[in-house]
Amino acid sequence: MIRSFLLFLLLGSSCISSKAQLGSYSFNSNVLYNDGYGIPWTYDYPFFMDGSPFFDTSFCTGSVQLLNGKTYRGLQLKLNLEQQKIIFTTDDGKAFALSQPVARLELGCNDPAKSVVFRSGFGVIDKQNERSLYQVLDSGKVLLLKFVEIRYKDSKAYNSNDMTRVYRQLPSYYLWIPGKDMVKVPGDENDLLGLLQDKRRELADTIGKEKLKPKKEADLIKIINSYNRLLQPS
């Protein structure tokens, strides 16, 4: 594998040189592992699971972009939301936890053509830091971001040594606004419109006509998407 990889580098040096200027590379799972970015990971858990700490319980086709700009595509990935760890598999079926923080993660779980995007690099807020991964729900001048906190409770049935861990996924929503950085989405409609003051009247009309509720994720996405579309040149 290493020998063939070196041959690939030699034959494609001009292409790679061009990509290097852009800070972007494209490799597969085995190369990600051979680059030294994998820590052995096991599936074994000493308890039964009710719920899950993962974004998706299956491995999904996706890509990761490291902080240095290098991108690895065509991977089989899982995202552990509780530990903020990315798990990948190699061609021989072995699983590894990615040892490097990422700037961007894409997962094509249900529909590879509609990848879910996660990004890091935002300011410190609540319990999160610059390396925390947020799901991007809408993008434009303003980013609508979702962070899922994982909580769990362990319990044992009477006269049983078997433990069950019950997971809860608690989402929080944030806006990344130029000049303001990260702002937690307020539950009150007027407070939300106050953050988007330049299009307040138009958004208020949209919310009223479509009977949108900012506390509902689908409706919140519609509101922020409407705001970003209003800012696009006609």
* Angle (CA) 116 81 72, round 5°: 50
- Which residues, 6+ apart, have CB-to-CB distance to 135 below 8 Å? 55, 116, 117, 118, 145, 146, 147, 148
SS3 category, 175: strand
90 in Cβ contact with 77 (< 8 Å) = no
Residue 93 corresponds to which amino acid? G
Residue 220: pLDDT above 50?
yes
Residues 43, 124: Cα–Cα separation, whole Å: 31
Predicted confidence at residue 93, as pLDDT, reads 86
Please determine, for residue 2, whether its predicted confidence score (pLDDT) is greater than 70: no
- Would the pLDDT of 161 be above 90? no
Domain boundaries, given as residue ranges, for the chain: 21-185, 187-234
Question: How high is the pLDDT of residue 17?
Answer: 34
d(CA 153, CA 170): 14
* Coil, helix or strand at residue 162: coil
What type of residue is 124?
A: V
Question: Where do we find the tokens 């989405």?
Answer: 185
Q: Across residues 46-68, what is the average pLDDT?
A: 93
Q: 18-22, 25-29, 125-129, 169-173: which range is least confident on average?
A: 18-22
Radius of gyration of the chain (CA): 21
Confidence of residue 27 (pLDDT cuts 50, 70, 90): low
Residue 21 pLDDT more than 60?
no
* Token digits of residue 152: 């769990």
Where helices occur in 12-46 by DSSP H, the ranges are 13-22, 29-34
* Dihedral pair phi/psi, residue 190, rounded to 5°: -65, -40
Distance in angstroms (rounded) separating the CA atoms of residues 143 and 132: 15
Structure tokens that stand for 196 in this block: 């988007």
pLDDT at 92: 86
Exposure string for 185-217, b = 16+ CB within 10 A, e = fewer: bbeebeebbeebeebeeebeebbeeeebebeee
* pLDDT at 8 exceeding the cut of 50: no
- Which of these ranges, 10-24, 34-48, 148-162, has the smallest mean pLDDT? 10-24
CA 33 from centroid of its chain's CA atoms: 21
| 15 — pLDDT class (breaks 50, 70, 90) | very low
Q: Which amino acid is at 61?
A: T
Tokens of 122: 């935002």
Strand partners, 66: 102
49 pLDDT higher than 50: yes
* Predicted confidence (pLDDT) at residue 11 exceeds the cutoff of 60: no
Where residue 182 falls among pLDDT bands split at 50, 70, 90?
very high
Q: What's the whole-model pTM score?
A: 0.84
